[in-house]
Structure 1
Amino acid sequence: MVTIADGRFSLPDNLLYTKNQHVYLNNDKKTLGLDEIGYAFLHNPNELKILVEDEVKIGIPFAAITTDSGMTTLNSPCSGKIKQLNPNALASMKDHTYETGFIIELEEITEVQPNLVTGSELQEWGNNEVKTLVRNNYSFKIIEIGDSAVGKTAIKVRFTDNYFKKDLKTTLGVDFGSKEIKGEYISSDILFSGTYRFTAKMNVWDAAGQAMYDKIRGMYYRDAKGALMCYDVHNHLSFEHLEKWREELEESLGKVPVLLVGNKIDLERKVTRQEGLAYAMKHNYLFVECSAKTGEGVDDMFKQLAVEIFKREEKLE
């Protein structure tokens, strides 16, 4: 028996497994089913339909499983005559995957697909598959930096709680909030035909901007995956101070995905959009203007940053 992810998943080493669909074949019991990792990939399947009656054939779908997000079909890794169908397999699939959770029992097996995974190959294959399974769920620490009173706390509150309070007090030390978002990335690689979808918990750390906190603020940068560098479009001095914040950020974290944020576009401008965009392009930052007061641009900018961090984490570009 091979155990994966600290015992979360089990793969009996006497079974044969298809590399992509996680269909298992038990040669001794002559059963076909879905292994524990494959079941986890489906995220709570709710309906099973068996598509064959008398026989299975290599590479031909033998069952379809429906989930809240769609349907997947399972292809047979062997050919043979069917002894019995198990239409109630879903009820046992999670906890008794390899005993009563089988989908089909065969009377005889006449041919087996080559290159199935088994034996000594299982550990490495299973570990790689679990990495793919957990890849869709992330937790990203995001640091907000910028001068005091540019609206960092208001941005965080608008994002996490979707409200605006005019008289928010100046942050003392650090503030924190989080929100889960759905992200989507379509690769620019012309050979890639799919879309990466993921869920990310955005843990937003709002560090105090006053000079008196300079010495302790560095600790809040630790382990951050990305940053919002914020200025106030109504306050040109906050824009002029961006260099100081950039230097502090790079000294603490090196190069990480950064979104340059021009806040308070609901007020009279003292910083043009062109100035902000030019600064972002110079340092290869993402750029957005927003209003924490109205909510304009806030959700979209966190999604943009999440995608950039996701790409970096998965080395997609």
Structure 2
Amino acid sequence: MFADILDYPELDLERKASECAALVRGVQPQAAALLESFRSFAEETAVGRLQEVYSGFFDLNSICHPYVGYQLFGENYKRSIFLVELKKSYRTGGFESDPSEIPDRLSIVLRFAAQSEGEDVDALLNKGLLPALERMTTKPETDGHEHGHADIDGDTGIERAKLDDRQLRKQLKDEQREARKAAEGQTQKDDRKQMSGQSQGDVLEGGFLLAMSEDYDIEEVEKRTHPYHQVLDALRLLLHEGMTKKLADRSVEQERVLGWTRERFNLDEDETIMVSELPCSDPGCPPVETHVVFWTEAGRQHFKVYKPLAEVAADDLLDWRA
């Protein structure tokens, strides 16, 4: 059902989201709440607009390209090896993927996992899909973060995507500011440069139509949780819940950080907390960093420590504020 929801939108999307939320509710209430929020959005939004939102979030936003291998490795030989191995797994499991799609597309990987079982599938979910979802749902750094060449020339290409995305948003904001000045009777600069493809109705490279309504407010949109971001978060919560039960006991290091986090934020024992290690692409930081994610009434809380999980200390949590 998650595969259907995360495919290109078609009619009846709100029903699928509702059924998925009902199935999830008894296992992961927080995930169900996120899906209910998405259902409400899908119910009140026309299919055509849903498709625009989908393309804007997944296809035009390089941070959230819905390809597991891209999120893990970027566009390099490592992803090619991953794709080859994935095709082998599909053939071995008798799974037929859409030949018009790249096999590591999120919805295809989910469909394969839904009809398969075994240690290989668990490994794909735990070491492939979960880290990919972590990257897709992690907010980009602030505009004030200065990027150097070391930031954007690494293996993953994720930092380059983040940088490109920030530049895009900045240019859109600048254009909005100029448009407001013009509406107030101020003179626009004749030589102001328009970013290619950002005019209403222009077609971007790859054939995507960027439908920017005249009242589209970038700053307001950035304050809201994106509906598809909610679906990705719900999926990650559910997978984390299932994988935690399938795998052996949590590591001692994870349990230690979980305990500190519960104590730091007065969280109940039944509250979901995710602790994981991810590759770090920031200059000067260790090869891996520790991420901690949980939910409060204020929303999703995400913190990271620029240390491997085994080196995290209780004092590293003191500056965290929910």
Length-normalised TM-score, structure 1:
0.19
Higher strand share: 1
